[in-house]
Structure 1
Amino acid sequence: MTDVLTVNGLSVFYGARAQAVEDVSFSVGQGRVVALLGANGAGKSSIMKAVAGLIPAVGTVTLRGADISGMPARKRVARGVVYVPEGRQIVGHMTVRENLVLGGYQLTGPRRKSRMEMVLDLFPEIAEKADRSAWRLSGGEQQMLAIGRGLMAEPRLLLLDEPSLGLAPLLVRRVFDRLGAIRQESDLSIVLVEQNLAMTIRLCDEVHFLRSGRIVGHQDAESLRDPAARQAAIDAYLGASATAA
């Protein structure tokens, strides 16, 4: 079966000399969740933005066997590549419902309505506040809205950048519970950027560890569910600042 996403030899430069990502390659199968883990500055977000077409990059990005490396971001969205950025970036003065409409702007009216019903069923916390301004939501609810807005576009590949950033542990668990429900109810493929290893391995199938813009290790999530193996991976790839549990 053809992978949904194949990234081959990806490199990202900022300016003439600053290299953020160096020769990164990985793939994502249908319905699989692949995580990119690393400390701040490891190149995770640069990889996501390059796959989404938001920044220029060297290398090849293939979606379902088709080379999309030269496509602008809007055309990648039309093909099913949807990026949920770090920091949520919702439109605070608009309502929850209006934010969701923005996510599904390219859909026809009936499809957008059906998709919104699905998203609100998945996230009852924001469904109860659908006509409230988005800035009034809690941090966890804003993250649910950001993910829901991404789902409105009917993605084939969802790029989730630091969904736990700035959230209290209880809210992190709630957000990851919803992501788990998405996994169970669809064949959506997900690339997840995170620093929280313990939460990530509950959701993903495999993990790529990044340091200084390069992939320095790869393990399947099942092996990392053993506490000793998880700690060994943290020590080897992430360092003492990583979240182990």
Structure 2
Amino acid sequence: MTDLLNVKDLSVFYGARAQAVEKVSFNVSPREVVALLGANGAGKTSTMKALVGLVKASGDIIFDGQPISGLSTRERVARGIVYVPEGREIVGSLTVRENLVLGGYQLSGALRKSRMETALELFPEIANKVDRAAWQLSGGEQQMLAIGRGLMAGPKLLLLDEPSLGLAPLLVKRVFDRLATIRTESDLSIVLVEQNLQMTMRLADRIYFLRSGRIVGQKHKQELQTEAARQQVIDAYLGAGQHLVA
């Protein structure tokens, strides 16, 4: 099977000396969910920003069979890569409907309407709040809106950065349940950045572990089915942080 995304020797620098990511390599197949797991500062978000062209990076990024390292963020989005950033970054002063429209601004009116209906069916919690200002939504609802806005563009690859961040456990479960529905009912591939191992295992087919900007290990979901295996991964790659074990 041809990879949808192939990343080879990706490195990210901030300034002349601060290296956030060092020669990271991984691949994503069609309809696959790949997770980048690690503690804060491991280089996960920098990797995601490099994929969508928000930071300067070296190395090779091949998407849908074509090199994209020289493309702008706008061009990468047009090719089918959409980034849902950490912290959601919705426009709080706009309504739910207006935020969704922003995600599909380049679409025809009919297609935009159709995709909005699909997003609201997926996230009924915000469907009856479409004319409410986004800042009035709960944290979980804002995360659903951010994902829905990303889906409006009809991506081939969705980059999700810390979707569980700042959410209560019940809302984390609800968000991940909807992500599971998305992957079941679509051809979408997902790169997921997380710290929560348990939630990541529910969704991801493969997990890459990052530490200090490098990939230090890789596991398939099937290799993490027992408590002993999960604890071994925590001890080897993650440390015993509460959020990582949650």
Structure 1 length-normalised TM: 0.99
Residue type of the alignment partner of 2:29: G
Measured on the aligned residues, the alpha-carbon RMSD in Å equals 0.7
1:145, distance to aligned residue in structure 2 (A) = 0.2
Secondary structure of 1:243's partner?
A: helix
Residue type of the alignment partner of 1:152: M
The 1-side partners of 2:32 and 2:144 are apart by 20
Name the residue aligned to 1:20.
20
Does the aligned pair in 1 maintain the 2:238–2:244 contact within 8 Å? no
Residue type of the alignment partner of 1:59: G
Residue type of the alignment partner of 2:4: V
Residue type of the alignment partner of 2:219: Q
Residue type of the alignment partner of 1:40: N
The 2-side partners of 1:68 and 1:151 are apart by 21
- Aligned pairs for 1:1-245 (under 5 A) are 1-241=1-241, 242-245=243-246
Structure 2 length-normalised TM: 0.98
Q: Runs of at least 4 residues of structure 1 off by over 6 A?
A: none
Measured against aligned partners, the alpha-carbon deviations of 1:168-227 in whole angstroms (never above 9, x if no partner) come to 101100000000000110010000000000010000100000000000000001211211
The 2-side partners of 1:126 and 1:5 are apart by 32
Measured against aligned partners, the alpha-carbon deviations of 1:4-61 in whole angstroms (never above 9, x if no partner) come to 1110110000010100000000000000000000000000000000000111100011
The 2-side partners of 1:95 and 1:111 are apart by 20
Aligned length: 245
Measured against aligned partners, the alpha-carbon deviations of 1:118-174 in whole angstroms (never above 9, x if no partner) come to 000000001111111100000000000000000000000000000000001011000
Q: Percent identity?
A: 72
Residue type of the alignment partner of 1:92: G
1:243, distance to aligned residue in structure 2 (A) = 2.4
The 2-side partners of 1:17 and 1:243 are apart by 29
1:108, distance to aligned residue in structure 2 (A) = 1.0
Secondary structure of 1:90's partner?
A: coil
Gaps of 5+ in 1: none
The 2-side partners of 1:151 and 1:226 are apart by 34
The 1-side partners of 2:134 and 2:122 are apart by 17
Secondary structure of 1:191's partner?
A: strand
Residue type of the alignment partner of 1:158: L
Greater Cα offset, 170-179 or 217-226: 217-226
Residue type of the alignment partner of 1:182: I
1:240, distance to aligned residue in structure 2 (A) = 1.2
